[in-house]
Structure 1
Amino acid sequence: MKYSTSPTPSVSNFPRSTSPLPAPANYQPTTASAAVKRYKYLRRLFKFNQMDFEFAAWQMVYLFISPQKVFRNFNYRKHTKSQFARDDPAFLVLLSVWLFLSSICLGLALNLGPGKIALLVLFVVFVDFIGAGVMVSTFLWHVSNKYMRRDPDGPDVEWGYAFDVHINAFFPPLLLLHVFQIVLFGSYPPMTGFLSCLISNTFWLASIIYYLYITFLGYSNLPILGNTRIFLLPVPLLFLCYLCTLLVGVNLSELLAIFYKYRVL
């Protein structure tokens, strides 16, 4: 069965309303097993004609301007398909394309040759994104299920949802660090001196805060979890570290550039 990619899909599949809507009053356990959901997801991974890329692009835009609306649609999915996690891999595919293109741009900004750019893309996609993403998602999935559930004997957090939260939170930092810095300043890191340090580290601060905030929204969206404000606790420490890097003149983008060049030698 093919899913429509038209601008106005049915409400039962992908509701597009951006008006405030109430959260679900209750939490119904997922009916399908994790293995069944994983099989269905992977089966559709290469069936591009069944993916709603327009809706995935809508989500990417709203992750910047109003991430709450993105997670509101996860609530709809729970009511219509008995799962919070995405069953359409369009967002993952589109994010991978962004990562592929941004890594090429980053390699060009670092003055790498074609072979080293190809190696950089492989590292970024398969190690930094997929490998690190699986580890972070698994860690947060384990922590949320073991320490944050209101009812230890009740429904648990889906691993697929934990991975969705991670890739949602990963997208804004990707654009800020891999795209916007290069587009705005034409180099990586931008310029030199204190101004370069200020701009670069501010981009890093904004990226990490975006990641933490979207992660907080993702887990606080689940009615089975409590104490989700813990994801925001590192923010004051981040500001302190940010000020310290400015005082000592540590340019985080410069360190990342050195790391990328070193790993493709």
Structure 2
Amino acid sequence: MLPISYTNLNSSRITRDGTASSASRYRRLIPEYFRRIFHYPQMDIEYTFWIMFYLCFNPSRVYRVTSWHKQTKNQWARDDPAFAVILVFFMAIASMSYAITFHFLSFLNVIKVMFWAVFVDFITVGLIIATVGWWITNKFLRVSAHNHSVDQSVEWLYAFDIHCNSFFPLFIILYVVQFFLLPILLSNSLLAAILSNTLYIIGFSYYYYVTFLGYNALPFLQHTVVFLYPIGILFALYIVSVIMGKNLTVSIMNFYFGFQLQ
């Protein structure tokens, strides 16, 4: 997904201390990444849907392909923004569907819901999570380079790729599946609360699992199991929420749409 500072020793991009300079890589990769957002023919849509399918059913296979991408393009990051663009489109459609369902029918309300889902839930939160993951991995999880090897580091853009990959299954569970289960979930029953909270713990646990796979795919990182630790916290919160009879679907719909149980 994202580029790492990894080139051979004969490359002109290797600096005198043996580490690869990432500045030139960023100047090439990021402008190209954003330029391709506005050039649909340059996007590999078929490959993107392949990734989305396997992220839901066999995410480890996606990261095996990522290693091939590194070998062919000498970068871990995707240089194709199709995944993020398609995911944003799906989120906009899902947000509009929720707005219509809860009678947020004015144009301003629909735009507000779409903006919050896309630019806050996905992009802003994703930027924060990617930055934290990038910092943790480079600061604490890198394997010390031997004298004969090139020092490697996780590039920030790879961390954001991991967030995008992890977010898609969560989107399917908490935007799509939840939408069709709303008639069951929006009730005062304990069964509805258990089902709702189970849906949320599955969605967020899957997010952290795919995140773990993304960082674990990098051969120069160690102790990446730390990205699975939040699942234990989620499980504890799940038990507490069920005991308290808290229905997360009702709470979320109340936050977005002011929904109240009758």
The Cα of 1:219 is off from its aligned counterpart by 0.2
Distance 1:63 1:197 in 2: 27
* % identical equivalent positions: 36
Q: Which residues of 2 match residues 95-244 of structure 1 at below 5 A?
A: 95-114=87-106, 115-151=108-144, 154-186=151-183, 189-244=185-240
- Structure number with bigger Rg: 2
State the partner residue of 2:7: 29
CA distance in structure 1 between the aligned counterparts of 2:201 and 2:61, rounded to whole angstroms: 23
Deviation of residue 258 (structure 1)? 1.6
| Distance in 1 of aligned mates of 2:193 and 2:78 | 38
Name the residue aligned to 1:58.
Answer: 50
Q: Give the Cα–Cα distance (whole angstroms) in 2 for the partners of residues 244 and 178 of structure 1.
A: 23
In structure 2, the CA distance between the partners of 1:163 and 1:212, relative to structure 1 (3 Å rule), is same
Runs of 4+ in 1 over 4 A off after TM superposition: none
SS in 2 for 1:45: helix
- In the alignment, residue 174 of structure 1 is paired with which amino acid? F
For residues 144-177 of structure 1, what are the alpha-carbon distances to aligned partners after superposition, in whole Å with 9 as ceiling and x for unaligned?
1111111278111011110000010011111111
Alpha-carbon offset, residue 65 of structure 1: 0.4
Cα deviation digits, residues 4-53 of structure 1 (max 9, x gap): xxxxxxxxxxxxxxxxxxxxxxx943965222110111111110011111
Q: 1:205 offset after TM fit, Å?
A: 0.5
Return the offset for 1:236.
2.4
TM-score (normalised: structure 1): 0.83
Q: Give RMSD over aligned pairs.
A: 1.8
CA–CA separation in structure 2 for the residues paired with 1:106 and 1:154: 48
Residue of 250, 253, 256 corresponding to 1:257: 253
Contact in 2 for aligned 1:29/1:155 (Cα 8 Å): no
Are positions 1:88 and 2:88 aligned together? no
Identify the structure with bigger relative contact order (alpha carbons < 8 Å, sequence gap 6+): 2
Q: Would you say the 8 A contact 2:212–2:227 is kept in 1? A: yes
Distance 2:240 2:121 in 1: 26
How much has 1:136 moved relative to structure 2?
1.0
The match for 1:39 among 31, 52, 59 is 31
Q: Give the gaps of 5 or more residues in structure 1.
A: 1-26
Give the equivalent residue in structure 2 for 1:10.
none
Matching residue of 2:17:
none
Once the two structures are superposed, what CA deviation does each residue of 1:217-257 show, in whole Å capped at 9, x if it has no partner? 00000011100000112222322211111110111111111
Is residue 2:44 matched to residue 1:48? Answer: no
Q: Which moved more, 1:102-111 or 1:224-233?
A: 102-111
Structure 1 pair 29–249 and aligned structure 2 pair: CA distance change class (3 A): farther
Q: How many Å separate the matches in 1 of 2:183 and 2:48?
A: 28
- Whichever residue aligns with residue 236 of structure 1, its letter is G
Q: Is the 8 A contact 1:109 1:182 kept in 2?
A: no
